[in-house]
């Protein structure tokens, strides 16, 4: 049985860590920050992998595969474009 | 054994994600932040993939390859298109959450309705509503930013709009609550898609009344929703890594939304339900004052004789892709001993930090980019304020005109400079559809034309020996 309370606990603590960390992000980097957090929240990829790859009915796995495609797109484009933007700041 | 590896992988990924964001506090360490994110993500993917329940490897491989094929070109877009790419990725994030939620619901409905506990159903309904409304809302935002022809750029409003929008959302929520109460009734399998359709519809309607000037806030809010959808997915799948990473994304979106709202002196609800600058447009100035136009020669002379020039960029610079020309102008002026600073309004452009990235692309040192709060005390000493395609963020009406939609918005005090030069694409109003009295001020000189062309002309004056 899932311990839902501990999940909520994790959520609240993670939000506070998030608020604390993001507050310190340089204003120069808000655009790359957004593409970076975008890539990170594409961690939905792990859920998509399970739905796509487990022994489920085909229809359900198709939904999973589309979700997996969308998540991987976000991961790849998110990290690459963040790096591209940050390199421009780094040069100086 | 694989279970333990999976859990350890998730913990490692969580730590790496937090470091990743921590290193974004400084441009010098930011690249390390990206590397940490990539490593964390790779660990998370592999730790999931090796689990024994994963049996259809080919499917996974195909979807991942397809993701790379689309993702790589998406990361090569010109930097002026970064706002719409960002909106598009919020859409993908929402879509993924919505689809996984849908898949899980029908899976559990088929396997055994007792699996659909109240808690799971609550998380599922939240995930699906948030996911799908983020999907269409972000697609609409991306469409507006890309200026796709059949999506109106201007805010579209009609009587009772908020009532209709909230009604649709309320309907989705009520149906969702019924599903939580009766997850496996005879009608539940049919009610679920209705919730999806309502959420999709709400996403579209939510963005229709929003104009370009509000995009930085809206993109931040959608960012937050995408993160929350991932959190809900974490609750559904009993996955702490998802909850943590989603919460990091959600809080980032929240902070950015708050900063953007403050920079416009508006509340969340006002941005989402206020339909910026549509109703008030009609009240233009009765006693139209005349523009004073300046030639490139005259403008170049003004700039050359200045000690401090403050450049105020806006969306017009992005549209015209003028940042590289601006860099040439910056070089010409600094070479002549003129101090040049860039005044960056938090909501200049179409997303948070938009101007900073464009100017960094043109290799303008980021030490020259100054925040609004820091530049404003310096504006009275500024000899020439050069406004490049910015409008509402320098409109003095924000200080006193109570009936103006931008009243109370903090602005860059361009009007306190000794002389103002403003580059403007046309003689039409700005995005918010409001008159800008700065342009008809006694000390203002206008340069009409595409920002890239006008700055190019200015640079020619310096380079071509017109001035010496």
Chain A residue numbers with beta carbons less than 8 Å from the beta carbon of B252 are 18, 22, 33-34, 37
**Is residue A36 assigned to a domain?**
yes
Query: Tens of pLDDT along B105-145?
Result: 999 999 988 889 999 999 999 999 999 999 999 999 999 99
DSSP-derived secondary structure letter, B56: -
> Looking at chain A from residue 13 to 32, which residues have their Cβ under 8 Å from any Cβ of chain B?
14-15, 17-19, 21-32
Residues of chain A with pLDDT under 70: 1-2, 90-92
Domain region containing A67: 26-90
**Is residue A79 assigned to a domain?**
yes
Beta carbons of B21 and A30 less than 8 Å apart? no
Query: Tens of pLDDT along B425-460?
Result: 877 655 555 678 888 888 999 999 899 999 999 999
Sheet containing B444-448, strands listed edge to edge, beginning at the edge strand earlier in sequence: B369-371, B339-344, B308-313, B384-388, B419-424, B444-448
Beta carbons of B64 and A25 less than 8 Å apart? no
Query: Tens of pLDDT along B212-221?
Result: 778 888 999 9
What's the confidence (pLDDT) of residue B387? 94
Work out whether strand B419-424 and strand B384-388 pair parallel, antiparallel, or are unpaired: parallel
Residue from A15, A40, A49 whose CB has the most chain B CBs within 10 Å, to mutate: A40
B331 is catalytic: no
Q: Measured between CB atoms, does A66 come within 8 Å of chain B?
A: yes
Question: Among B392, B413, B415, B435, which one carries the catalytic annotation?
Answer: B392
What's the confidence (pLDDT) of residue B282? 40
Q: How far is B123 from chain A (nearest CA, A)?
A: 11
Count other Cβ atoms within 10 Å, centred on residue B343: 29
What's the confidence (pLDDT) of residue B278? 43
Architecture of domain B296-463 in CATH?
3-Layer(aba) Sandwich (3.40)
**Is residue A71 assigned to a domain?**
yes
Query: Which ipTM did the prediction report?
Result: 0.95
Going from N- to C-terminal start, the domains of chain B cover 77-273, 296-463
DSSP state letters, B445-458? EEEES-HHHHHHHH
User: Which of B444, B177, B120 has its CA nearest to residue B291?
Assistant: B444
Q: How far is B394 from chain A (nearest CA, A)?
A: 20
Q: Measured between CB atoms, does A60 come within 8 Å of chain B?
A: yes
Torsion of CA B251, B253, B259, B264, to 10 degrees: -140
What's the confidence (pLDDT) of residue A1? 52
| Number of domains chain A is built from | 1
What's the confidence (pLDDT) of residue B275? 52
Work out whether strand B419-424 and strand B369-371 pair parallel, antiparallel, or are unpaired: unpaired
pLDDT tens for chain B, residues 1 to 468: 788 999 999 999 999 999 999 999 999 999 999 999 999 999 999 999 999 999 999 999 999 999 999 999 999 999 889 999 999 999 999 999 999 999 999 999 999 888 899 999 999 999 999 999 999 999 999 999 988 877 777 777 788 888 898 999 999 999 999 999 999 888 999 999 999 999 999 999 999 888 777 888 899 999 999 999 999 999 999 999 999 999 999 999 999 999 998 888 888 777 766 554 444 444 444 455 677 888 889 999 999 999 999 999 998 898 889 999 999 999 999 999 999 999 999 989 889 999 999 999 999 998 999 999 999 999 999 999 999 988 889 999 888 888 877 888 899 999 999 999 999 887 765 555 567 888 888 899 999 989 999 999 999 988 876 555
What's the confidence (pLDDT) of residue B280? 42
Q: Measured between CB atoms, does B22 come within 8 Å of chain A?
A: yes
């Amino acid at each position: 049985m899932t311990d839902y309370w501990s999940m909520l606990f994790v959520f609240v603590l993670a939000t506070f860590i998030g608020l604390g960390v993001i507050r310190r992000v340089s204003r120069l980097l808000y655009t790359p920050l957004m593409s970076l957090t975008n890539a990170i929240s594409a961690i939905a990829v792990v859920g998509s992998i399970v739905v796509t790859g487990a022994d489920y009915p085909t229809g359900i796995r198709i939904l999973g595969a589309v979700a997996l495609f969308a998540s991987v797109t976000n991961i790849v484009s998110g990290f690459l474009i963040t790096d591209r933007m940050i390199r421009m700041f780094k040069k100086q | 054994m694989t279970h333990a590896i999976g859990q350890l992988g998730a913990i490692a990924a969580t730590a790496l994600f937090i470091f990743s964001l921590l290193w974004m506090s400084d441009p010098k360490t930011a690249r390390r932040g990206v590397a940490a994110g990539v490593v964390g993500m790779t660990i998370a993917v592999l730790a999931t993939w090796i689990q024994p329940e994963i049996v259809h490897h080919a499917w996974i491989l195909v979807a991942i390859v397809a993701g790379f094929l689309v993702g790589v070109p998406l990361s090569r877009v010109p930097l002026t298109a970064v706002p719409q790419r960002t909106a598009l990725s919020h859409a993908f994030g929402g879509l993924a959450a919505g689809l996984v939620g849908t898949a899980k619901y029908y899976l559990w409905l088929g396997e055994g309705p007792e699996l659909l506990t109240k808690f799971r159903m609550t998380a599922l309904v939240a995930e699906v509503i948030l996911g799908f409304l983020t999907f269409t809302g972000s697609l609409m935002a991306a469409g507006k930013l890309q200026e796709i022809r059949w999506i109106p750029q201007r805010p579209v409003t009609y009587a009772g709009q908020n009532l209709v929008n909230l009604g649709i959302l309320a309907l989705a929520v009520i149906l969702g609550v019924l599903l939580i109460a009766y997850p496996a009734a005879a009608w539940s399998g049919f009610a679920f898609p209705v919730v999806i359709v309502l959420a999709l519809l709400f996403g579209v309607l939510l963005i229709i009344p929003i104009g370009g000037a509000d995009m930085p806030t809206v993109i931040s809010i959608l960012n937050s929703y995408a993160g929350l959808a991932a959190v809900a997915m974490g609750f559904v799948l009993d996955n702490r890594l998802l909850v943590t990473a989603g919460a990091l994304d959600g809080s980032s979106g929240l902070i950015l939304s708050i900063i953007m709202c403050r920079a416009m002196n508006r509340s969340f609800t006002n941005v989402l339900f206020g339909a910026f600058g549509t109703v008030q447009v009609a009240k233009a100035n009765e006693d139209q004052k005349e523009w004073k136009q300046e030639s490139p020669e005259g403008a170049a002379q003004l700039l050359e004789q200045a000690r401090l020039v403050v450049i105020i960029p806006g969306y017009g610079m992005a549209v015209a892709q003028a940042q590289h020309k601006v860099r040439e102008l910056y070089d010409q002026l600094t070479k002549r001993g003129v101090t040049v600073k860039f005044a960056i309004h938090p909501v200049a452009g179409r997303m948070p930090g938009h101007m900073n990235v464009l100017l960094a692309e043109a290799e303008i040192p980021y030490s020259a980019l100054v925040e609004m709060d820091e530049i404003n005390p310096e504006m009275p000493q500024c000899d020439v304020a050069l406004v490049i395609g910015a409008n509402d963020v320098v409109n003095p009406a924000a200080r006193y005109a109570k009936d103006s939609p931008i009243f109370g918005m903090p602005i860059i005090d361009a009007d306190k400079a000794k002389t103002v030069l403003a580059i403007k694409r046309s003689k039409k109003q700005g995005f918010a559809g409001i008159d800008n009295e700065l342009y008809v001020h006694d000390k203002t000189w206008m340069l009409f034309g595409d920002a890239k062309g006008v700055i190019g002309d200015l640079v020619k004056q310096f380079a071509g020996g017109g001035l010496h």
